[in-house]
Structure 1
Amino acid sequence: MKFNFKKNVVLTLTLFLLILAGCTNSTTTKTDDISKGSKKEKIELSFYFPVSVGGPVTKIIDQLAEDFMAENPTIKVNPIYAGSYADTMTRAQTSVQGGNPPDLAVILATELYTLRSMDAIEPLDRFIEDDYINDFYEGFLENSQADGKTWSIPFQRSTPVMYYNKEAFAKAGLNPEKPPKNWDQLLSYAKKLTIKDGSGEVEQWGVEIPSSGFPYWLFQGFALQNGKNLMSDDGKEVYFDTPENVEALQFIVDLSRKYGVMPKNVIDWATVPSDFMKGKTAIMYHTTGNLTNVKNNADFEFGVAYQSANKSYGSPTGGGNLYIFKDIPEEHKKAAWKFIKWLTTPKRAAQWSIDTGYIATRKSAYETKLMKDYVKSFPPAAVARDQLEYASAELSTYNNGRIYQVINDNLQAAIVGDKSPAEALKDAQQEADRILKPYN
C-alpha cells in the first residue's frame, strides 16, 4: 500500500483540532468568572416556582429572570412554572429521587423537615455574609432555620388577612373604618352582612373562609387566636385535638351550619377572591398574596385588617422560600446563591411586594422610598407586615404532605357535617401521631 504522507498529516491535524475544541468547550466556570462576565459557557440554572394567587405572577418571575441575566451574562436562569405548591414539591421530590434535582426552587417554607429528611437541600450559611439574614423578619425565619443552620431564604411569604367590602359595611349600617376585632364581632357583623332575596336565596354571604387548598392554614389562625400553635418546634409532634382547638373549629363550623352566614359546603380557595370581588361575600379570609389582585380588580372600596382575635390576635406565616438543592455542581450552587441575593435585595423585595401583594420579607425593604411611597398611597400594603407581631410559624412537620392530608381531610369532614369538630380533630391527632412515630 502506498503511504500518503500529505493525507495523513491533514487527518492528524484535524483530529488534534477536534480534541482541542472539546477541551475548551467545558461548562465549568470559576466563581470569579460568574461575576466578571467571562466568555466561558454560561451556567444554566433550573428554577422551579409555584403560583397559588391571582395576578400575573408567572410574567413577573420571567421578567425578574430576564433582568438578572442582563446583569449577569454568564448565568442563564430557566424559570419553570411547576403548578401549585403541592405540585412543585412533588416535582422536586421526583427530580431528586431520579438524580436530576433542580438547581433552586420556591417551595413552601413548611417543607423544611421533609426536604432535610431526604437530604435534598444545601445549608446556606457558608454563602451568607454580614448581617444579611438578620434583616429578614423573625417570623419568617422560624420556618427557614433549624439546628443552628439556615436552610432557605424567605421570598414569597404571606399571612392570611381579613378583606372587607366597605360599601357593603355602609349599606348594613356598619362603620366602614371599623372591621370586626374579635370572634363575637365577626359573627355579629356577618349576620348583618348576609343578604337574602325574596325566595330566601343568599345574594351576599357575610363571610367566606376557604376550606380547600390550605384549610389547615386558615384553621391555624383560629387555633393561635384561641391558644397556641398546632405543632412542636422540632416538627415531631402536633396538637390538633386540644379543647381550645376543638372550640376554634366549632366556631368555624357554626358560622355556616348554625348561623348561616357562610356557605355550608367546602369553600374553594381559588374562587373566594372572585366571590369577594363580585360582591358575593362581604368579608373574606385569604392570603395577603392576593392583595394586588384585589386592588387591581375590585370595583369598590375595600379594607384590609388583622384576622379577628379571641384570646389574642394570632396568625400563621405562610408562603414559599428559596431553596438550593444539594446534588448539583458547586458552580451551580454559587450561581444560584447569586440569583437569590439579587432577588432579595431591599428594592426588589419592595417591588415584588407591590407587584404581587406578598410581604416584603426584609425589614429594609420598607425603608426604601419605593415602599414608603406605596404604603403612604395604599395603607393596606402594611397590614400583613404589621400582623407579623402576632404571627407564628406555619404548621410544619416531618412527612409534611401526609400530615397536611390528614388534617385537611378531617377539617373538611367537620365543615360538611360528616364529623363533629371533636371527632374530626381526634381522628386527625391519632393518624398524625402514627405518621410521626418513627421520628420520635
Structure 2
Amino acid sequence: MRKFGFLFIVFALVLSACNSGGNTKGESAGKTESGGKDGKVELQFYFPVAVGGPITKLIDQLASDFEKENENIDITPIYGGSYQDTMTKVATAVQGNNSPDIAVLLSTDLYTLLSMNAIEDLTPRFSKEYFDDFYEAFLGNTKSGDTVWSVPFQRSTIVMYYNKDKFKEAGLDPEKAPSNWNELREYAKKLTKADGSQWGIEIPSTGYQYWMLQALSLQSGENIMSNDGTKVMFNQPHVEESLQFYMDLGQKDKVMPKGTIEWATVPSDFISGKTAMMFHTTGNLTKVKNEAAFDFGVAFLPANKQFGSPTGGGNLYVFKDIPDANKEAAAKFIEFLTKPERVAQWSIDTGYVGTTKSSYETDILKKYVADFPAAAIARDQLEYADSELSTYQNGQVTKIFNDNIQAALLGNMTAKEALEKSQQQAEGILKQFQK
C-alpha cells in the first residue's frame, strides 16, 4: 500500500558507505555485462507482496509468458515481502553494487530513490502516447518535473467497503452507502452493537494512518505536500479538522475501536462481520469478493466538502547501474506488463485499479465490470484523487507523521499538538532540500 523510518537509516548507510572510501559517483563497479546463459539477458525482478491473494503465482506466470515471447530474456522474480522489506533489500543491493534490474516499489519511494541516484530516467524509453494512456491521477507520483522515473503498475485508491446484510439488519438501505461525513457517523452509530461484537466502521490506525488522514484531508481541502517533495502542510486547519473527525469516531462517537486498529486485520474483521464498514485499499477487492460470505458494496469515500482519496500502490522502476541490454529488456518487460489485456486481467485477478484507459476498453474488463460493478468504483473515484504523500527522506517524514497521528488516536495528544509537532519535525528534515 508503506515506507517508514528504517528506509532513512538504510539511505544513511548508503551515504556513509559512499563517503567512507566505498564507491563514489563514477567509480561504481555495478553490472558491466548481462552475464546471461547462452547469450540471454537475465533480469532480476524484485516484487513485494502487500495484499491478499495468489500474487506470487500471478507474477511467476507473467514472467513465464514473457519469456515465451522473448526467448533471449530470462526473468527471475525475487519476492521481498512487504513494500518496506522490498525497499530495504533493493537499497542494500544498490549499496552492494548488485542493483536489481527492475522492481515494483511504492510510487512514493521516488525521492528516496532519486537521492540514492539509483534509477533510470524512463522518459526516452516510451512514447508520449504510451504515457498519455495512464490515468492522470496515477502520474503524479511517477514524475519529478517533466521527467518520468517509473511506470504505474499495481495502483490503488482507498475505498469504502460495506456489508449490505448488516445494513438491512440496521434498517439502512443496502444500496445506499453514506455519502458524507455526517451520514457516515449516523450509519456507524446504527451499525455498532453495544456489546462490542460489531463496530460500525474501522479505519486502520497502524502502518498507513497517514494515508487515511490524507484521504480525510483531501475531502476537506488541499493536498498535504508540495509536488516537488520539499514541503509539507500538515498543520493546516482542514488537516486538523480531518484528524479530529478520525479521532472522534473512536473516542467520542464510539463507533470504531478506540486506539490501535491493525492495517492487516481490518479486512479480516470485515469479512468475519466484526465491522460493518471499512476504509481500505481497493487492492483487497478480489480478496473480499472471494472470501466474504455476504453481499457487500463498494463506494467512494464519504465527502466532507468534496470527495477525495490519495492514490497508492506500486510502480515499476528500472535501475541505473545495469547494462544497456538489461535496460532495454526491462523496458520491454514493462511494455509487456502494461498491455491493455494484461492490465485488465491483473485488475480482475488482484482488485487493483486498471492503470490505463485502454484496459477498460478490453472485452474482458468490460464484462467483468458489467457483472461486478464494484470493480469500477476505484477507477471512477480517480476523478477526485490526488498524489500520495511523497517527499525527500520520505520514510523518515512518514514515520514522524504516523507516530504523531497514532498518538492522537490513542488520546495522548490533541489533533493540533500532533500536527504542529509533525510539521515542525518534517520542516527540520526537508529544509536542506528547499531552494
TM-score by length of 1: 0.90
Q: What is the CA–CA distance in structure 1 between the aligned matches of 2:384 and 2:127, rounded to whole Å?
A: 29
Select which of 253, 260, 278 maps to 1:284: 278
Residues 65-104 of structure 1: CA distance to partner in whole angstroms, max 9, x if unpaired? Answer: 1111122111111111111111111111111111111101
Shift of 1:130: 5.5
Distance 1:27 1:415, change over 3 A: closer
Question: Does the 8 A contact of 2:34 with 2:326 survive in 1?
Answer: no
Counterparts in 2 of 1:220-231, with a 5 A limit? 220-231=214-225
Q: What is the CA–CA distance in structure 1 between the aligned matches of 2:330 and 2:180, rounded to whole Å?
A: 44
Question: Does the 8 A contact of 1:303 with 1:380 survive in 2?
Answer: yes
Counterparts in 2 of 1:174-213, with a 5 A limit? 174-196=172-194, 201-213=195-207
Show the counterpart of 1:393. Answer: 387
Show the counterpart of 2:53. Answer: 55
Show the counterpart of 1:111. Answer: 109
Counterparts in 2 of 1:18-57, with a 5 A limit? 40-57=38-55
Residues 111-132 of structure 1: CA distance to partner in whole angstroms, max 9, x if unpaired? Answer: 1111112111000122103611
Shift of 1:392: 0.3
Show the counterpart of 1:143. Answer: 141
Residues 191-246 of structure 1: CA distance to partner in whole angstroms, max 9, x if unpaired? Answer: 000013xxxx3111000000112111111000000111010111100011111111
Question: Does the 8 A contact of 2:283 with 2:351 survive in 1?
Answer: yes
Identity over the aligned pairs, expressed in percent?
Answer: 59
SS for the counterpart of 1:142 is: helix
User: Max radius of gyration: which structure?
Assistant: 1
**Cα RMSD between the aligned structures?**
1.2
Q: What is the CA–CA distance in structure 1 between the aligned matches of 2:357 and 2:150, rounded to whole Å?
A: 17
Shift of 1:41: 2.1
Show the counterpart of 1:273. Answer: 267
Structure 2 counterpart of 1:75, one-letter code:
I
Structure 1 counterpart of 2:431, one-letter code:
K
Show the counterpart of 2:413. Answer: 419
Q: What is the CA–CA distance in structure 1 between the aligned matches of 2:121 and 2:109, rounded to whole Å?
A: 14
Counterparts in 2 of 1:360-371, with a 5 A limit? 360-371=354-365
Show the counterpart of 1:329. Answer: 323
Shift of 1:180: 0.3
SS for the counterpart of 2:254 is: coil
Unaligned runs of 5+ in 1: 1-25, 30-38
Residues 147-201 of structure 1: CA distance to partner in whole angstroms, max 9, x if unpaired? Answer: 21111000010000000000000100000011000000000000000013xxxx3
Q: Does 1:245 align with 2:239?
A: yes
Residues 241-296 of structure 1: CA distance to partner in whole angstroms, max 9, x if unpaired? Answer: 11111110000100001111000121101100000000000000000000000000
Residues 326-377 of structure 1: CA distance to partner in whole angstroms, max 9, x if unpaired? Answer: 0011100011111110001000000000000000101000000010000000
Counterparts in 2 of 1:121-136, with a 5 A limit? 121-129=119-127, 131-136=129-134
Q: What is the CA–CA distance in structure 2 between the aligned matches of 1:437 and 1:99, rounded to whole Å?
A: 30
Show the counterpart of 2:67. Answer: 69
Counterparts in 2 of 1:308-347, with a 5 A limit? 308-347=302-341
SS for the counterpart of 1:371 is: helix
Q: What is the CA–CA distance in structure 2 between the aligned matches of 1:222 and 1:98, rounded to whole Å?
A: 41
- Structure 1 ranges of 4+ moved more than 6 A: none
Question: Does the 8 A contact of 1:27 with 1:40 survive in 2?
Answer: no
Show the counterpart of 1:86. Answer: 84
Show the counterpart of 1:434. Answer: 428
Q: What is the CA–CA distance in structure 1 between the aligned matches of 2:391 and 2:417, rounded to whole Å?
A: 22
Structure 2 counterpart of 1:166, one-letter code:
K
Q: What is the CA–CA distance in structure 2 between the aligned matches of 1:334 and 1:69, rounded to whole Å?
A: 15
Select which of 356, 366, 373 maps to 2:367: 373
Select which of 94, 102, 111 maps to 1:96: 94
TM-score by length of 2: 0.91
Q: What is the CA–CA distance in structure 1 between the aligned matches of 2:219 and 2:238, rounded to whole Å?
A: 10
Shift of 1:52: 1.4
Shift of 1:429: 0.7
Q: What is the CA–CA distance in structure 2 between the aligned matches of 1:399 and 1:174, rounded to whole Å?
A: 45
Residues 7-30 of structure 1: CA distance to partner in whole angstroms, max 9, x if unpaired? Answer: xxxxxxxxxxxxxxxxxxx9579x
SS for the counterpart of 1:361 is: coil
Q: What is the CA–CA distance in structure 1 between the aligned matches of 2:128 and 2:176, rounded to whole Å?
A: 43
Q: Does 1:214 align with 2:212?
A: no
SS for the counterpart of 1:143 is: helix
Structure 2 counterpart of 1:261, one-letter code:
V
Residues 12-65 of structure 1: CA distance to partner in whole angstroms, max 9, x if unpaired? Answer: xxxxxxxxxxxxxx9579xxxxxxxxx942211111111111111111111111
SS for the counterpart of 2:121 is: coil
Question: Does the 8 A contact of 1:113 with 1:399 survive in 2?
Answer: yes
SS for the counterpart of 2:123 is: coil
Distance 1:435 1:301, change over 3 A: same
Structure 1 counterpart of 2:156, one-letter code:
S
Distance 1:27 1:309, change over 3 A: closer
SS for the counterpart of 1:159 is: strand
SS for the counterpart of 1:202 is: coil
Question: Does the 8 A contact of 1:28 with 1:331 survive in 2?
Answer: no
Distance 1:397 1:130, change over 3 A: closer
Residues 292-341 of structure 1: CA distance to partner in whole angstroms, max 9, x if unpaired? Answer: 00000000000000000001001100000000000011100011111110
